[in-house]
Amino acid sequence: MLNYLRDEVAERYDILGRDLARKGIDIEEVKKKISNFMVEVPSWVFGPFGGGRFSSYIPPGAARNVFEKFDDAALVHRLTGATPKVSIHVGWDCPGNIPFEKIEADHFRGLKDYAENLGLGIGSVNPTYFLEGTHFGSLSADDINVRRKLIEHTLVAAEIASKYGSGILVLWLPDGSLYPGQVNFRLKESNLRESLREIYDRTPSSVKILIEYKLFEPGTYHTVIPDSFTAYDLARNLGDRAGVIIDLGHHAFGVNVEHIAARFIESGIPAGIHFNSRYVADDDQAVEPNMQIFLLFHELAMGSVIGNQDSRKNWIYIIDQCSKLENRIHAILHTIDSLMISYAKALIVDEEKLRGYQIRNEIILANRTLLDAFLTDVRPIICAAKLEKGLPPDPVSAYLESGYQEKIEMERL
Ligand code: PSV
Ligand code: MN
């Protein structure tokens, strides 16, 4: 995608710089923010997981264990300079063949060291609520033994997050139902609130808990945390260390996700994004630089929850994708490019002009001001930022030329 030649980059960068200067925007500042942009990659994108279709198909070269997942993540970081942290799923990523109930935080110490040797770190930590035994719910299960087991599992995840990770716990529950009458909604909710209360009270005070919502899957009739309001309400009731994850693929069609982000920014609640895109259903595909992602970045940038000098004010940014068929490394590199492009477009909105049109109720003129930024080709900024850091302007081409794919396909049979 970013396939300009080096000298063309300089020329296009200068032309764009002059255009932006007329709007009062300093292209160097935009480039700096793009250079500093970091996003976590999910360990699971590199492995065999990818939905329940096409039975045993696993993309060639998929990582066979957590260490290989980190090897792949290190390569992605080398090619993009933007992904120093890897988000892990405790149940999928525990080194050694430890049974789920026996997983302890210290099993992850070696992984932290391994990551550090690769120039990486463990980022957000996800307790895994959707392995065996949770088909009738996890933290909201009517069966107290299931709830107890998963509360303890979450506390292990919290310890991993505080000792070996970045102190962020992300909770996604597969809890829900398939038919009306299958469950008692209010009982599910009170079970969940009770579980979350115990988890919150017993986690180290350095750990933030971000709750994810999802309208569908696996519940087709209802899910216990279906929307942003429910997640917000649960988090607010827990305390200041609890917040929400907005996963872009988890809404009904047409939901105004950038508005949800704006509301969370305004509320001051801790929050983060799971980036991905979906078409008809589910949420596992790579991000394209579309209007929705641009509008979302515009809210994040205006709300100063990205690129803020005070890192405590920044939200947590994580890619959450893992589609079945495509080459996963191509897909993750494509997403990172798309995110950088969308962020850069958001940074070149003429905010003063936009505000002026808003005040004067010039509806179409305000809309055209946003579109002006969206339609600008910002790739010279991305390329320049990468070249300055010694990175390849087009990471996908660089990957194709690296021979890495051939190597992992040979080694990981
Ligand atoms: C669920 O669809 C989800 O978005 C959650 O974030 C999980 O942790 C992740 O995908 C992997 O299943
Ligand atoms: Mn997610």
Is residue 50 pLDDT above 60, yes or no? no
> CA-to-CA distance for 90 and 154, rounded, in angstroms?
9
85-89 and 41-42 as β-strands: parallel, antiparallel, unpaired? parallel
Q: Identify which has the larger pLDDT, 326 or 74.
A: 74
Q: Which domain holds residue 114?
A: 38-350
Of the ligands numbered here, which is closest to the C-alpha atom of 45? 1
388 near 35, Cβ under 8 Å? yes
Preceding omega of 218 cis (within 30 degrees of 0):
yes
Position 237 in a domain: yes
Band of the pLDDT at 53, cuts 50, 70, 90? low
Is residue 51 pLDDT above 80, yes or no? no
Position 388 in a domain: no
Band of the pLDDT at 323, cuts 50, 70, 90? confident
Report the interhelical angle of 328-347 vs 379-388 (nearest 10°): 110
Of the ligands numbered here, which is closest to the C-alpha atom of 130? 1
Is residue 94 pLDDT above 90, yes or no? yes
Average pLDDT over residues 48-61: 70
The DSSP 8-state label assigned to residue 277 in this structure reads B
Hey, what amino acid is at 382? I
In this prediction the pTM is: 0.96
**What CATH number is given to the structural domain containing 185?**
3.20.20.150
Q: Which atom of ligand 1 is nearest to the CA of 126?
A: 8
Q: In what order do the strands lie in the sheet with 242-247?
A: 41-42, 85-89, 121-126, 168-171, 208-212, 242-247, 271-275, 316-319
User: How remote is the C-alpha of 286 from its chain's centroid?
Assistant: 11
pLDDT, tens only, 365-387: 999 999 999 999 999 999 999 99
Is residue 1 pLDDT above 50, yes or no? no
> CA-to-CA distance for 195 and 148, rounded, in angstroms?
8
Position 110 in a domain: yes
Task: For ligand 1, atom 2, name the residue with the nearest CA.
Answer: 283
Of the ligands numbered here, which is closest to the C-alpha atom of 93? 1
Position 10 in a domain: no
Q: Which atom of ligand 1 is nearest to the CA of 247?
A: 4
pLDDT, tens only, 116-152: 999 999 999 999 999 889 999 999 999 999 999 999 9
Position 259 in a domain: yes
| Three-state SS at 64 | coil
Position 279 in a domain: yes
> Total structural domains in the chain?
1
373 near 349, Cβ under 8 Å? yes
40 lines ligand 1 (CB under 6 A): no
Task: Give CA separation, 410 vs 59, 60, 296, in Å.
Answer: 13, 9, 40
Position 409 in a domain: no
Position 51 in a domain: yes
Task: For ligand 1, atom 8, name the residue with the nearest CA.
Answer: 172
| Gap from CA of 202 to ligand 1 centroid (Å) | 24
For residue 413 the two structure tokens come to 């049979």
Question: Which residue from 242, 190, 175, 241 is spatially nearest to 211, judged by alpha carbons?
Answer: 242
Q: Which atom of ligand 1 is nearest to the CA of 245?
A: 6
127 near 154, Cβ under 8 Å? yes
> CA-to-CA distance for 368 and 353, rounded, in angstroms?
11
Task: For ligand 1, atom 1, name the residue with the nearest CA.
Answer: 172
Give the pLDDT of residue 281.
79
Average pLDDT over residues 292-309: 98
Choosing from 154, 212, 283 the residue with most ligand 1 atoms within 8 A of its CB, the one to mutate for a pocket test is 212
Question: Largest Cα–Cα distance in the chain?
Answer: 66
Mean pLDDT of the chain: 95
